[in-house]
A = this chain, B = another copy of it.
Amino acid sequence: VRERELIQTFTRPFGVARAPRGPGDDCAVLPPSRGELCVTTDAVVEGVHFTRRHFTFEDVGHKALAVNLSDLAAMGARPSWFLCALGLPARTPDGEVQALGRGMSRLARASGIALAGGNVTRAREWSVTLTCAGEVPPGRALLRGGAGAGDLLYVSGTLGDARLGLARLGTRRCPEAQARQRRPSPRLALGLLARPFASACIDLSDGLATDLVRLSEASQLGARLEVERLPLSAELSREMRGTAWRWALGGGEDYELLLAISARRAAGFERACRSAGERVTQIGRLTAERGVRCLDGDDRPVRAPAGFGHFSGI
């Protein structure tokens, strides 16, 4: 009975955005997809990805969905449905579950993704594990491994803000960076826009330095990154001065896209971004020579800070 009440409390704000034959049976039943299905699963866990002190449960609901949608964005996929598995401590107040549903449903509606089902279980700490699915026309998914030597590297938005926001949680400083930390914006529209132009794409969850290695290795290439080109917000530049690039390169949780675009498609891509109001910045290029080199304005190598990894402490 308690389980059913918790599920109702959680699902209520999703309203008509729920899948028609979704919650309530042993499985959700979804219509055949015309395109290929892109699926991803990601979790946010109390004490690892958020703390009650610095995040509302609306923030947690938003962020849990946003980090999954960011993976769909990186494939150029259009969101279709998701499942939500909650781990809840004993005696979790209804208000927390309700706030989580509110924050998650708002982003779900804005992103055009429907809640199709889920699960709730007791656990020692709060956790939210989502599985998100989207569609792409057959053969058109943006993979990490499709880039060619000489392709230009672009990133969306600005980098390092979520890392700055993490450092400023609990203070009144850098409200925009704190918002980036609590409520990242998945770049779904850019992913769709980029599909005809990009040869490879990855979302920046663990920091540009780490994720660039992933993209270039998957494409069996190296990369040359011009650190002075990294797009920085006013807040990050002001707070960090000359070392802002370190967080732009090594800070995690940006949830921006890193895209490889062949030189002959670059002008068309930039034009399409401009007319769609999507900010992108060219930050370097892929090279036949393996390894990632980060260069300063005088073409001298700079040492990249270690990437961000929840497991780095193990």
- Chain A interface (Cβ < 8 Å from any Cβ of B): 1-3, 6, 21, 24-43, 45, 47-49, 71-72, 74-75, 77, 81, 83-85, 87, 90-92, 116-125, 127, 129, 131, 133-134, 136, 138, 141, 143-145, 201-203, 218, 309-314
Contact = CB atoms under 8 A, between A and B. Distances in A.
8 contacts: A1-B309, A3-B310, A27-B77, A28-B38, A32-B36, A37-B37, A48-B123, A90-B314
Contacts of A40: 26-28, 83, 117, 119
A66 B74 CA distance: 32
Contacts of A24: 144, 218
A38 B27 contact: yes
Nearest to A200: B25
Contact of A27 (B75, B85, B87, B138): B75
Nearest to A42: B119
Contacts of A127: 87, 123, 127
B25 A122 contact: no
Nearest to A203: B26
A292 B144 CA distance: 55
Contacts of A92: 314
Contacts of A35: 32
Contacts of A31: 36-37, 138
Given A33-B32, A41-B131, A119-B42, A26 B74 contact: yes
A124 B124 contact: yes
A30 B25 contact: no
Contact of A122 (B28, B116, B311): B311
B27 A74 contact: yes
Contacts of A144: 24-26
A-B CB proximity, top 3 nearest:
A27-B38, A26-B74, A131-B131
B45 A122 contact: yes
A77 B35 CA distance: 21
A237 B74 CA distance: 57
Given A27-B38, A32-B32, A48 B117 contact: no
Contacts of A25: 75, 143-145, 218
A308 B90 CA distance: 16
A274 to B, nearest CB: 25
A83 B122 contact: no
